[in-house]
Each structure stands twice: as structure tokens, then as C-alpha cells.
Structure 1
């Protein structure tokens, strides 16, 4: 007769793995002792309903998590031996019959899908191609997960593990617990082992594979920007309550009886009908309530990294480059965009799925961005590589050496999520400086220079400009012009440079010409003449992020 005992690997005393093996051996001993204390007749009820051995241990609050790392064959062997010893000691015909049933059903149970965890703790699942995958224990399953992570070429310093399970798992578990309470609540072992809260399927699965994943990936699990998400779905799964209603409805339709719905009583575990009657709660009730399935859940694995942000300041030297992609009716406006010139070069370095461009405000396509530059962030989605400081500097040089010389960047660096918060704040709260070439309809006077420079923190009311009404809400905004000054141009009496510092979000072109009275006051209304802006440059964007 084959020996079903659990054997552990033999190691040399000088082997560094001796301590680990000793720990495993001790846990196996504890597991064996815990199994001996399980009531054979209750285990029989659960196995009859195709509850897997790991869910049985979990429901009985067996704390030795080693059972997730042991093959089902070994686990069933432990249960079989424990029940055999119990039957011999008690010499009970009922217990002996329980033992025979357990032995005769072991092979079947090892291959059937658990009616509670739907294969999750059996490490059986259907992959994305609906191919059945079966693993003996947690280490085998963790190895599959680790290989998938490595195949996706992710560089990680740590990881967080997420698991999503179908609701039918919780519903089936509630049915099983309710049945056990109804049948065994008066027995001592129930009060000691089964009545207290037990670990959920989700937490048991995570605890089972976390350590093997840490070993295989050579990183720790915890709060991390890199997530491994296991999503289990069962397309044929319906709620247990609906299942009962369907079964009873079918029975009554055949007999011509009145149809009534069923549910699990919350207080005493009884199975109640809508007409107030109560079912007996025997094994047939459990069989009726459980939502049985023929195959395990479909499992999909998703690896993703929370966005990383690479920020800096950009300068734009062309009056034919938009800030972001500008395509109307499949026709590009401008020769390029800042977004594409910067983001298109950074994305390959990070090997991400895509990117988004964020900036502290924006300038029109015909407005240059000079001086200290405008702060920006490139949000890289699901980056497989987080660039080093050296590679960031090399990328900065590459962008700045482009032959087109349309855009330059400086102070490029990897930023945390706080960079995005500061950027969002700066879009509306910070100050920006401009230099505008202005024409007026009369010669400029000396008094004009004094008048303009005398304004400090001038409040301006701007209705949404006519030129952007097609894409902006018709609102009225109050903005502040912090200071202004005029720089005369030699040999020209009607042209001058207007230097001004304004609150972020101020429409500068409209502040100069008045936009048909929609901006008040304006340079034109202050000087009492027509005023037009011919060229505009942004010269400084003052923010707390990425300052020189």
C-alpha cells in the first residue's frame, strides 16, 4: 500500500535553506494536528457539496496558511488519515461511514470546481483564451503571475496586489455558513472553530501568493505605484437567492402550486419562503441553495503603474506652433505642437502606453513663450521604465538639439503627484508677464506713459472673448493687472512695447483692444483711442514649481 504521509526534502546541515525547511516542517505538523480536530461528519457534508479542502480549512479557521502551499493530494491525504484515526478511536459506525465517504470521494473532489471559491483557492482558472489552467499550489500559481509580469517588461521596486472576485462567491459562502449554523450550532466544535469570523476567499488568496511573489519578483509587497490585479469573473454565475427562486418556481409550476420566493434567514440560518413557511435545513437544502458551476472562473491579469510625471519648463520660439495638437476637419493647424515635440520624445524613454500633456496655462499659436519658460508636466501612463536622473538629462539635450529649434526645455525632472497639484493650482492662481507690440490710432504722449504705469492691481472685467465663444462658456471673469509700463520704440510715434504682469487666465489681446467693449477697462479705453496688438510674447510665468 502506498504511503500517503507528507514527506519533506532532505537537506544537508550546512545548507542555508535548513531553517526554511524546518519552518515548513513545523507548520505541516501544526496543520496535521489542526486537521485531526476537524469533525469528520461536518467535513463530509462540505465535501459532498464540492467545497474544496482549502475552503474547508478556511471555514474552520485553520490558521496554518501552509495549506495553500501544499498540493491537494497531500491535503486530502491529511484529511483521510485524520478521519480514519477518529473513526478507529470512536469505533462509531456513523464515523466509519463518514470516513469511507471521504476516501471514496477524494479523487472526485480534487478535480471538481469548488462550489464556494469557484476554483480561486484551487488555483484553477480559465485564461483569456478560455483555456483551463490548473496549478497544484500557491507557488505554481505565483510563478505564472510572476512570469506574466516579467513578460510585460516592467521594472518594479515594489508591488501591490489586488484581487476582484464575483459576488456569487460571497453568496455561496453565506449559504454554506447558514447551513452549518442550522445543523451544528449546538455542537462544541462549532462554537470553538466555526462560529467566529473566518478569512475571506479574497484575503486567503492574497495571503497565499504574496510571499511567493515577493521571492519570485525579488521585491516587497506593500503600498506601491505598481499594481498586480487579478480579476475573476464567472459568466454563468447568478445569485443563490435567484437560483432558489428559480428551482422552487419550476417545481411548483410542474405541480400547479402557488409560486413563492425563498431566501436565507439572517438570524437563525433557516431557509424561509415568502409565504412564511420554513424548510428543514438538511443537506438537500444546501444542495438547492448553492450555485454550482461546471468550470472555474475566468481570470485576467493586469499589470499597471500609476502615472509618473516628468516636468520642466518649455520655451516656444515659433509663431506657428500650437501648445497641443490642433487638427480641424483632418487638417493640422500649425507646423507642430509643443505637446508632440516634447511628449513624443519622452514616451519611448519610459516605454509607456501613452501620455498626456499638462501646462500652467496656455498661449495662442501665434504667441511665443520666452524668458523663464512655462511649467509643464508630461503624464506617462503605465510606464514600464522609470528613467534615471542621467537619462532625463540626456533627453533634455536631445529635445534641445532638434534641428527645427521650435521648442526648448529646461529643468526636466521626474516629479511626484504633488507636481500635478502645484501645476493645477498655478493654472489660475499665479502671475504671468507679457511683452506686447501695440499700435494705437494716435501718436503716443508723455502723459500716456505716466498714466499706464500708475495703475497697480487694476481690476478688469472680461466677458468670454468673441474669438473663443464657440468653445468656451459665455461667462464674466474678473482679473487683475498687477502692473504695466510702456517702452517707447525709437522712430515710431504710434507703436510701443507694453510690458505687463497679470493674473493667470487674463486675455491679453482683449485687454489691449477691448473686444468690442466686452473687456473693461482696456488699453484703448484708458488712452481714449483705438488700440491693436500686433505681436505678443510670454516672458515669465511665476510659479512655485520648477523655478530657476
Structure 2
């Protein structure tokens, strides 16, 4: 690789010839045939603008360079270009410029190790960049660059069968390319090859990069590139300004492109393109058609700024969240649903969230987890019956557990000595599991059993009065006990049915079984909360009523039943 003031290639030598042959005669012949269709003088113009060899190929739509030449170094590509177009002498002339200080001449060996940076792609398609330690990294081929990416994936311990490849590049690359195209139009717009090939067949820089490294990555990782929850994202950033184009180009085109786009978010396609690359050809065609010869100055070369440093590459490998769902039962009246800390003091002896999450997170080898449940019970309320639906969202899981491993983990959780929590029907779920739980939570019914005390002896009429109430509507204001964290609202809820079960040898204690609409405050429904819930068990029986214990006996939702 040469520096910014040197020629983009040297004359083919014996070593390069050997490399060309070893690269495969068929590949070289295919690329040579494609290169022969290029316009020699146009290629020389691009070389004089210090456009890299891969950008030249993609501007002319030479797709053979993308799919078949991932192992070829720039020196080989330049050699093929020089021989096919009979430009070898020109390449030699470019290697020693008239105004260059002879003391700064580089040897062939120096040229290979000192990178220069393309004025369009800023070195991205030369595989030259600064890494996260700000160290300069240079690779000769797409395959060599793919090796670096594959090593990062493997070092992260990710287990993958497929992956999506996403690339973000500086918008200045598009502006730089547009300026070069305008310059080429100034010279070649009247020629057929320019209108039919140079404009219409150009491969955007981002697409060129992704197509170049996708196949080597598939081979190195043993995985297919396509739609996947595992994402490899390459984010290139650059601090220098783009090529200085005339103000009218900035105003007419660049601003329009920014307005019509959207932010470059992570996508789900196997090879994801942002708005700039998707509209790039359209924007450039519109620009070229709308600009007259006199609009663009002859001094474009003087306006091209030398690129003094390559882009900074941030390489991120991560998996979209995976979900493990099921139902849990809670047998203790001293276990909260989620971790509960007040003034650095833990409330309760444990939490459902921590008991379940601490077992599932190691199974998936994720970074962290989030616990989601279909509703919640108070710390002193047991969750019995069929259990409460829950999801554990694992962030950046490196291992996707099999059904067998998940069942083994379920068994281990249920064998814990303290027996505080039990899980049922544990399984891997997609995003549809989250949707099912959220939709079911809004429509679900819940059944309870409450131990109730009243201020007078229980009568047979009380049993009949309570049992006769069906689909009873009640009005609840936000309970006093939760006013500090909930909005002061009035909520209308439905008590679907109730029945009383007597307790032997007790005239004032009984078990109240009831089924209610989701979100009903059961404790307040029993004692009335100083009149904030009406009617209540106390008001219906005409006496004071208090709740001693409460159990959730069923959460009526269709998800995660078995």
C-alpha cells in the first residue's frame, strides 16, 4: 500500500506474478476480462484523484471483485488493472511525482507497509482503520479483515448458527463519492459507457464492504449470513471533513438526503443497509442530472483534501435478547417478587427474580437479565395453583440452551433445599411469548383464598349472601398503603364470584374464595380501606372485617400452561 502522495500501484514484479497465479487462474481471468471493459483514461483520472482500487472497481460496477477476489491484495489488483488496460507505464509515472522530495521516495517494501487512505472511502475498502485502542490496523484483503472479525466473535464465546452483518459508515463517504462523480461527469457525460455503466452499475461502498466479507465470515464462523438474532456490527467513524464541494451541491443535494432519511438503527436483515446506501444511486443520479458543466469548477483537484487518517472502527458482536418463560409458584410469605432494598436493607429473605434469574443467566451465559411477570403479589402473599406466568429476558446470550438443558435447569431449581420457589413449564420463547403475556395480563382473571376475621360470629345467611353475588362491580380508590408510589385514581373492578368456607372450631374466622378481575386490590376489598373501596366484605356483612393471610390460587391465562 502506498502513501497519500505516492502512486496507487507499482509495476507488476515476479513476486506479484507468483501471487496472481497462486490466487487462481480462473479468478484472475474473470477479473481481467471484467477490467478490460473499463475506460482506461477514466481509470487514470480516478487514480490521479487517489481513489483506491476497490472504489474504482465498485464505481464501474465490477462485481467480480466483490464475490471472487476476497483473497487478493491491492498490489495484485493493481497489477491486473495495469496489465488489462495497458496502464503499467502510467502507474510507474505516478509513483514518482515531479514535485515530490527525492528524500521521501519509498522502497517497494515501504510502500507495502505504509497505508494511504482513499479520498472516497477513507480507507474502509482498503481495510485500514484505527481499532478501539487507537492502534493502526491494516489488512490486504477482505478475507484477512474477516479473520479479525471472526476472532472477536470466537473470543466472545458466542455460539451461533447464523448471523446478520450490519455496517455504518460516515456520511462524508457518500458526499465524497458524489463530488468525484460530478467531476467525472464534467469530462465524460457525453459518452455512452458513463451514462450506462458508471452511473447505473455503481455498488455503494457499504454494500461492497458487506458483500466482500460475508462469504469469508460464513466460512470462518461456520454460520450462514442472513436474518439472525446475532448481530455483527461495524461502525466506522471519521473526524475529518469530507471533500469540499461547491456550496450549491451542499444545499441542493446533501441537505435533501439528510431530510429524507432516518436514523441508522440496528436492523434485522442479514446484510443491513442504512437509508444513505439504499438511496445512494438515486440521489447521485438526481445530482448529476441537475448540475450543468459550468456549475462545477475545473479546480476540483485543488478542492480535494488529503485524507490524513483512516476511520475509527468500533466492532460490536451481540445477540438480541432471548426469552425463557414459564410459571412460578412461591411458597414463602417472606419472599418478594423482585429484589427489594430499602435504605441498603433487604426486605425479605430472597426474591423470585433472583432465585430464577441466578439459575437461567449462567445457563445462557448472558451479560445480564430482566425479570418480567404477569402481575405481582405482595411479599406476604403466596403464589399457588398453576403459578404465575413470567419471562426472563437474557441480554447478549452467548449460548442458546437446548430444550434438554432448559428442563435440566428447571429440575435443579426445583431441587433447591429452601423450597421457596418452584418453576413449571420452563421453555425458550420468541417475541410472541412476550406479546402473549402482555395481552393475557390485561384480560386475565385471578383466584384467591383469603383468611378473614370479622367482628361478630359468622351466620349461615352470610354464606348465602356472599355466594349470591355474581359479577359484582366495585369501585376502588388507590389504597392508602400504595399512595406513595401510585397515582390517586378510581378504578372500577369486577368480582366474578365468591364463596365462604367455614373453619372448624372458629366462629369469626373463615376462608373466602373469590375470582376477580386482574388488578383488584383484595386486601382492601376485604376491610374497605376506610371507605376507599366500596362495596367491601365488611360493608356487605355489616361488620368490621380484616384479612389475616392471602394466597393467589390461580392466574387464568392461556400462556405457559404446559
Calculate the TM-score normalised by the size of structure 1. Answer: 0.86
Does the 8 Å CA contact 1:181/1:269 hold for their aligned counterparts? no
Mapped partners of 2:296, 2:230: distance in 1: 50
Q: Name the residue aligned to 1:158.
A: 162
Query: Which of the residues 135, 138, 144 maps onto 2:142?
Result: 138
Q: Name the residue aligned to 2:264.
A: none
1:68-467, aligned counterparts within 5 Å? 68-84=70-86, 101-102=93-94, 111-237=115-241, 240=244, 266=287, 268=289, 270=291, 280-282=296-298, 284-288=299-303, 290=304, 292-467=306-481
Displacement, 1:268?
4.8
Give SS of 1:347's match: helix
RMSD over aligned CA atoms reads: 2.6
Displacement, 1:339?
0.4
Does the 8 Å CA contact 2:527/2:545 hold for their aligned counterparts? yes
Displacement, 1:524?
1.6
Does the 8 Å CA contact 1:307/1:379 hold for their aligned counterparts? yes
Query: Which of the residues 497, 503, 519 maps onto 1:483?
Result: 497
Mapped partners of 1:5, 1:236: distance in 2: 37
**Alpha-carbon spacing, 1:286–1:451, altered in 2? closer, same or farther (3 Å):** farther
Give SS of 1:230's match: strand
Q: CA deviation digits over 1:478-521, x for unaligned, max 9?
A: 22211111101112121111001111111111111122222222
Does the 8 Å CA contact 1:185/1:191 hold for their aligned counterparts? yes
Query: Which of the residues 4, 8, 13 maps onto 1:2?
Result: 13
**Alpha-carbon spacing, 1:475–1:360, altered in 2? closer, same or farther (3 Å):** same
Displacement, 1:475?
2.0
Query: Which of the residues 524, 531, 539 maps onto 2:545?
Result: 531
Does the 8 Å CA contact 1:271/1:281 hold for their aligned counterparts? no
Does the 8 Å CA contact 2:179/2:243 hold for their aligned counterparts? no
Bigger shift: residues 317-326 or 415-424: 415-424
Mapped partners of 2:204, 2:76: distance in 1: 23
Displacement, 1:44?
2.0
Q: CA deviation digits over 1:358-383, x for unaligned, max 9?
A: 11110000101111111111111111
Q: Name the residue aligned to 2:259.
A: none
Does the 8 Å CA contact 1:437/1:533 hold for their aligned counterparts? yes
Unpaired stretches in structure 1, ≥5 consecutive residues: 11-20, 88-95, 247-263, 273-277
Q: Name the residue aligned to 1:92.
A: none
Displacement, 1:270?
4.6
Q: CA deviation digits over 1:442-470, x for unaligned, max 9?
A: 22221111111112222222222111111
**Alpha-carbon spacing, 1:103–1:193, altered in 2? closer, same or farther (3 Å):** farther
**Alpha-carbon spacing, 1:271–1:295, altered in 2? closer, same or farther (3 Å):** farther
Mapped partners of 2:201, 2:187: distance in 1: 18
Displacement, 1:26?
3.2
User: Number of matched residues?
Assistant: 502
Does the 8 Å CA contact 1:304/1:382 hold for their aligned counterparts? yes
Give SS of 1:128's match: coil
Displacement, 1:34?
2.1
Mapped partners of 1:389, 1:372: distance in 2: 21
Q: Name the residue aligned to 2:272.
A: none
Mapped partners of 1:239, 1:320: distance in 2: 67
**Alpha-carbon spacing, 1:172–1:488, altered in 2? closer, same or farther (3 Å):** same
Mapped partners of 2:506, 2:295: distance in 1: 101
Confirm whether residue 59 of structure 1 aligns to residue 59 of structure 2.
yes
Mapped partners of 1:321, 1:237: distance in 2: 59
Q: Name the residue aligned to 1:41.
A: 41
Q: CA deviation digits over 1:96-138, x for unaligned, max 9?
A: 7x56545658977983101111111111111100111111111
**Alpha-carbon spacing, 1:112–1:232, altered in 2? closer, same or farther (3 Å):** same
**Alpha-carbon spacing, 1:295–1:354, altered in 2? closer, same or farther (3 Å):** same
Bigger shift: residues 419-428 or 223-232: 419-428
Displacement, 1:406?
1.2
Mapped partners of 1:409, 1:499: distance in 2: 24
Does the 8 Å CA contact 2:538/2:545 hold for their aligned counterparts? yes
Displacement, 1:237?
3.9
Give SS of 1:456's match: coil
Bigger shift: residues 492-501 or 64-73: 64-73
**Alpha-carbon spacing, 1:125–1:496, altered in 2? closer, same or farther (3 Å):** same
Does the 8 Å CA contact 1:46/1:56 hold for their aligned counterparts? yes
Calculate the TM-score normalised by the size of structure 2. Answer: 0.84
